[in-house]
Amino acid sequence: MPYAVGALLVVQFAGLGVWQVSRALEKRAEQEAYEGQTGFTPFLSGMDVRPYQKLEAEGVFDARHQFLLDNIILNSRYGHYVLTPLVYSDDEAVLIVNRGWIERTSSEPDPAAIELDRSRLTVRGRVGSLPRAGYRMGISIESPTTWPQHAVYPTLDELAASLGREVQPFVLLMDPDDDFGLVRHWVPEEMGPGRHYAYAFQWFAMGAVLAGLLAWNFRKRESRHD
């Protein structure tokens, strides 16, 4: 029985090592995609997009229906990401634009801090996604009738339900040089591929050590029976 349990652990350690290697390869691909983007491509509704692709979209910001993502930490300070729908046309799905981070105060953010020009404009940014939590408790949107709406790790479907119209299947991370933005520092996840490779090495090493101990103990027991 101990050998079966040990063998199972060796397999699990190896599996975890392989998973860490796969995550490292994914992170490397993300970094290459981020660094490899050059010019901005005009966005058309329904077009295929790539992660971190640079786009420019024309439309009007819907300043009356904005979302404040809660519990966003930047430089050890709590704040919000401000999500603003960009209306391309009345018959097209809106594009959710992450305009960046604003620090949380004891009360609601000053309306002037997130106010927008309602004229038609061109917004530039990168293809991104909403922040995700490993585990989410409770509802994601606190009050579906009060704007701006506070939200905790919502999905695009939940944003669409609050807006009462379809949204594009990605979020545009507003370019740091564009106007009407807040604090913006868009980079792939801080944990790069090197850390994943280190974790993979640890799992493989643990599996190898355990396999060696099992083999040594098995030969020692067999030698006693000889």
Q: Does residue 163 have a pLDDT over 70?
A: yes
pLDDT band at 114 (very low <50, low <70, confident <90, very high): confident
The more confident residue out of 105 and 163 is 163
Average pLDDT over the chain reads 81
Whether 167 has a pLDDT exceeding 90, the answer reads yes
Q: What is the DSSP letter of 167?
A: E
pLDDT digits (tens, 9 = 90+) for 48-98: 988 888 999 999 999 999 999 988 888 888 889 999 999 988 889 999 999
Task: Name which of 74, 7, 1 is nearest 215 in CA terms.
Answer: 7
CB–CB of 175/99 below 8 Å? Answer: no
Query: Under a CB-based contact definition with an 8 Å cutoff, are residues 193 and 27 in contact?
Result: yes
Q: Say what percent of the chain tops pLDDT 90.
A: 28
pLDDT of residue 35: 62
pLDDT score for 65: 93
Q: Are the C-beta atoms of 148 and 67 separated by less than 8 Å?
A: yes
Mean pLDDT of 112-137: 81
> Tens of pLDDT along 3-24?
676 677 777 877 887 877 776 6
- The reported pLDDT for the residue numbered 144 is 65
Beta carbons within 8 Å of 52's beta carbon, 6+ residues apart = 30, 33, 34, 37, 126, 127, 128, 188
**How do the domains of the chain map onto residue ranges?**
2-26+192-225, 53-174
137, pLDDT greater than 90: no
Alpha helix (H) residue ranges in the chain: 2-36, 111-114, 156-163, 193-225
- Residue 99: pLDDT above 90? yes
Answer whether 9's CB lies under 8 Å from 209's CB: no
pLDDT tens digits for 170-185? Answer: 999 999 888 888 888 8
pTM: 0.68
β 167-174/67-74 pair status: unpaired
Name residues whose C-beta falls within 8 Å of residue 10's C-beta, 6 or more positions apart in sequence.
207, 210, 211, 214
* Structure-model confidence comparison of residues 17 and 1, the more confident one: 17
Closest CA to 185 of 109, 81, 86, 56: 81
Q: What gap in Å lies between CA 109 and CA 199, rounded to an integer? A: 41
Q: Does residue 25 register a pLDDT over 90? A: no
Q: Are 10 and 207 in contact (CB under 8 A)?
A: yes
